[in-house]
Structure 1
Amino acid sequence: MSTNTASAPGSGFTTDSSASNVRWIVCGLLFLATTINYMDRNVFGYVEPLLHDVAFMGWNHAADKFHQPVFDDNFGTVIMFFQIAYGVGFIVAGRVIDKLGTKVGYALAILIWGLASMSHSVVTSVAGFCVARIFLGLGESGNFPAALKAVSEWFPTRERAKAVGLFNSGSNASALVAPPLVAFVSAKWGWQAAFIATGSMGMAWLVLWTLFPYNRLRGASTQTQANLAADFAEAAESGGAIPLSALLQRPGLYAFALGKALTDGVWWFYLFYLPQFLNRNYNLTLKQAYPYLLTVYVISSVGSIAGGSLSGSLMANGRSVNAGRKIAMLVMALCVMPVIFVPHMSTIFATNAWPATLLIALAAAAHQGWSANLFSTPGDMFPSTAVSTVVGVGGAAGAVGGAAFTWIVKRNLSLHQLLVFSMAAGAYVVALAVFQLLVPHIGVSRKAA
């Protein structure tokens, strides 16, 4: 993208063309893709109660639901295969999308994950689920590198976290659509139909994305991106690509990656284990749990948008990019901490799931607000030609951290819930402290520093 254009005062763009409202159409497409992305990965968690009757999963009907070591191990193993593949895929996907561009890279990613999602419907063993989850993870790993690259190409700094918060709220919207959809199609045609239903939505999105003239309508670079491109000019290869070796020299890459590694597993814990938590602690079926799941994800959507808007509001009122991002992240980190009290709720309110649900909802909303700002930092620190690569490295770290946290969860959630929720409560404060140590000043170029 050209960076030799005149700056439009106050716009945040080097030209006014990029500031058109078309960018919000792009944000809408990113929202739909993210919604489908989370629907496809979460179906496995939603059909978990139905898998009790699938012989190869190992549920023991003679034992109580808190003592199902074979089933729990199989269920957790399938999830871990997804997370590992998701992490490995990030490393490749980020680089591929930077090479192919947002339009082609995104299309390839959703084609792979949509087909992989539908393939779950034909498995006949735990190993089959694992293979399907591997390909699902490889495809889904392209969503965020592509989406965040798109945001860096279309949105100025002050709007970036808001845009991320909006499209990332698709992860919550999926929870509004998926449970009733899964419940309906599973009741009518079996659990296999749930995977076909969500996977086919990805194919529909692919048609929309193919028809949208992304590259023709995109304008010039944002002013922030123009400055970052100049900062990385010496390292850039012909064609504008920045070698991975140059990116690995920047502490911002490690700050983002560690932020993801320390907190992604907490979000995945809510996604994959919340239906199980409500079932085992409060005897709620998926249908009965829907109002509680709905509440968590509606509140999460509010947190995603509010948290993303907070940093932009702070910048609009005179705060620097550094202060705006980090104050917002600190507020979100503190809002997560009451989740430590969740394990006590089933004792205090043995038949009422709402207190525990609302604490989890607050934590999930804070996570989404945190993520909206953390996801924006690659665009604050790297040019758009490298954003997907940086997000890919961070996503890989997040997947490794998520797999590690899942390993802890599957061995401790039934009998040691306080340990799990204590780790979830403290992860964000630790992550922010690490980020601050590595990047004391976001937005300060290395040359200036």
Structure 2
Amino acid sequence: MKRIPHLRWWIVALVCAGTIANYLARNSLGVLAPQLKTSLAMTTQQYSYVVGAFQLAYTVMQPIAGFVVDRFGLRVGFALFGVAWSFANMLHALAAGWLGLAFFRGLLGLAESAAVPSGIKAIAEWFPARERSVAVGWFNAGTSLGALIAPPVVIAVSLWADWRVAFIVTGAVGLVWAAAWYAFYRSPAAHPAITPEEQALIAADRPSVPGPRASAREILGSAKFWVIAVPRFLAEPAWQTFSFWIPLYLATERGMDLKQIALFAWLPFLAADIGGVLGGYLSPFLVRRFGVRLITSRVAGISLAAVLMIAPGCIGLAVSPYTAIALFCVGGFAHQMISVLINTLSADVFTPEEVGTANGFVGQAGWIGGLLFSLLIGQLADTVGYAPLFAALSVFDLIGAVVLIVGIRHLTVPEPRR
């Protein structure tokens, strides 16, 4: 096979494509929520249970999925999960009520939970530490790109056919990606297209001769895990809210119809893409320009983004729906900065052999926060409104930044090979 210079960036593109397929399927529910509430006679509370079924399954499965890709390898593991989430999303077309929809949503959560642990593991395997935040930024852009294209694509298909066909189409995209992943992905040591120079660059930055992988108990018992997991727990409710509740909020509180939602609901995710990519570049910029340490640069970026998260907390004060969307855009930008840098910290402080499991547990902490907050929205949105709930998201991220600043001494980078 022909050698490909800078192959690691092509690997990131492949991971990003998988994340786009993953989030296109995931966000189909949120886009179709106003239509599904009518077609399946769902209340807001029942819709929150459908969302919760996905979140609960995803939460439970993330560390298991991380263990699977650590144990059996990324090539096979990630491809199998891709096939599974594709069929699970297509099964949504069979739902006859909210209970059936919740069941299929739970299956989707089980399968989609592998996306982030797998992406972080690929970056830990393929990238030296100084490039990881940039790579995570581009990989993480797939989460926003999938969410960005979901409103126009899903609504177009549902208007052309119906909501059942929309679930089938968005699920089928993942099958194409899974085939491409299995065909082209290999580890750096086994990839026939990698150049010797790039292989040496990656190997030189790996930790000293790796020992046995840390056990789940050892990971959960380490201070560095909790310093990352607590801010992730506090940050994830914002992204879950943006992903699953923006269309319903725009319909119920701002009076927008499906076509208006298709025109505007993708904008926060475009801003999120920009924030994720720029957040990845911010860390190496701080290292080069101001000489700060690698871990400190990550924490500084998260702290800056936490301050920007005050914007979506002010949505209740917005007079027009367009101002509300603009504040959502600032929130999307800021959240993805936080997400990129927290996920990069997992790759920084855990070895490539254990990072899939570790990031799975970190992700589980985040999804517990997202699940609890979604259920809270379902209980309170129709009574107290969305404004105080959005305000809480700002407070959560500020607290998370404080936890990282106080606990930074526990975050250390494994020594490179000498």
TM-score (structure 1 length as normaliser): 0.85
Partner of 2:266: 294
**Which residue of 121, 129, 134 maps to 1:149?**
121
The Cα offsets for residues 365-414 of structure 1, whole Å up to 9 and x where unpaired, read as 10001111000001110110001001110111111111111121112223
Partner of 1:35: 20
Indicate how the Cα distance of structure 1 residues 99 and 284 shifts in structure 2: closer, same or farther if over 3 A, else same: same
Residues 46, 275 of structure 1: 8 Å contact kept: yes
Residues 264, 401 of structure 1: 8 Å contact kept: yes
Indicate how the Cα distance of structure 1 residues 108 and 287 shifts in structure 2: closer, same or farther if over 3 A, else same: same
Partner of 2:110: 138
In the TM superposition, 1:47-446 aligns within 5 A as 47-55=32-40, 57-58=41-42, 71-215=43-187, 216-217=190-191, 219=199, 222=202, 226-227=206-207, 229=208, 236-237=211-212, 241-317=213-289, 318-345=291-318, 349=319, 352-414=320-382, 415-440=384-409, 442-443=411-412
Residues 182, 194 of structure 1: 8 Å contact kept: yes
Letter in 1 for 2:11: V
- How far apart are the structure 2 equivalents of 1:224 and 1:269? 41
- How far apart are the structure 1 equivalents of 2:175 and 2:201? 30
Give structure 1 stretches of 5+ with no counterpart: 1-17, 59-70
- Tell me, what secondary structure is at the counterpart of 2:102? helix
Indicate how the Cα distance of structure 1 residues 122 and 32 shifts in structure 2: closer, same or farther if over 3 A, else same: same
- How far apart are the structure 2 equivalents of 1:311 and 1:151? 16
Structure of larger gyration radius: 1
Report the alpha carbon displacement of residue 326 of structure 1 after superposing the two structures with TM: 1.1
- Structure 1 window deviating more from structure 2 (406-415 vs 264-273): it is 406-415
Report the alpha carbon displacement of residue 92 of structure 1 after superposing the two structures with TM: 0.8
Residues 251, 439 of structure 1: 8 Å contact kept: no
Query: Deviating runs (4+, > 6 A) in structure 1?
Result: none
- Tell me, what secondary structure is at the counterpart of 1:429? helix
Residues 296, 360 of structure 1: 8 Å contact kept: yes
- How far apart are the structure 2 equivalents of 1:437 and 1:84? 30
Report the alpha carbon displacement of residue 33 of structure 1 after superposing the two structures with TM: 0.8
- How far apart are the structure 2 equivalents of 1:225 and 1:77? 45
- How far apart are the structure 2 equivalents of 1:172 and 1:52? 25
- Tell me, what secondary structure is at the counterpart of 2:353? helix
**Identity, % of aligned pairs?**
28
- How far apart are the structure 2 equivalents of 1:73 and 1:356? 23
- Tell me, what secondary structure is at the counterpart of 2:409? coil
The Cα offsets for residues 37-79 of structure 1, whole Å up to 9 and x where unpaired, read as 1111111111112113324x34xxxxxxxxxxxx111100010
Residues 152, 263 of structure 2: 8 Å contact kept: no
Report the alpha carbon displacement of residue 247 of structure 1 after superposing the two structures with TM: 2.1
- How far apart are the structure 1 equivalents of 2:239 and 2:113? 16
- How far apart are the structure 1 equivalents of 2:95 and 2:21? 21
Residues 148, 164 of structure 1: 8 Å contact kept: yes
Matched pairs, number: 403
Indicate how the Cα distance of structure 1 residues 38 and 269 shifts in structure 2: closer, same or farther if over 3 A, else same: same
The Cα offsets for residues 228-273 of structure 1, whole Å up to 9 and x where unpaired, read as x55xx5xx43xxx332233233211112221221111111101111
Indicate how the Cα distance of structure 1 residues 19 and 158 shifts in structure 2: closer, same or farther if over 3 A, else same: farther
Indicate how the Cα distance of structure 1 residues 398 and 188 shifts in structure 2: closer, same or farther if over 3 A, else same: same
- How far apart are the structure 2 equivalents of 1:291 and 1:427? 30
Give structure 2 stretches of 5+ with no counterpart: none
- How far apart are the structure 2 equivalents of 1:167 and 1:433? 26
The Cα offsets for residues 103-159 of structure 1, whole Å up to 9 and x where unpaired, read as 111111111111100010112222211211111001100001100000111112221
- How far apart are the structure 1 equivalents of 2:203 and 2:246? 42
The Cα offsets for residues 4-57 of structure 1, whole Å up to 9 and x where unpaired, read as xxxxxxxxxxxxxx99411111111111111111111111111112113324x3
- How far apart are the structure 2 equivalents of 1:213 and 1:300? 27
Residues 81, 133 of structure 1: 8 Å contact kept: yes
Residues 28, 167 of structure 2: 8 Å contact kept: yes
Residues 50, 105 of structure 2: 8 Å contact kept: yes
- Tell me, what secondary structure is at the counterpart of 1:439? helix
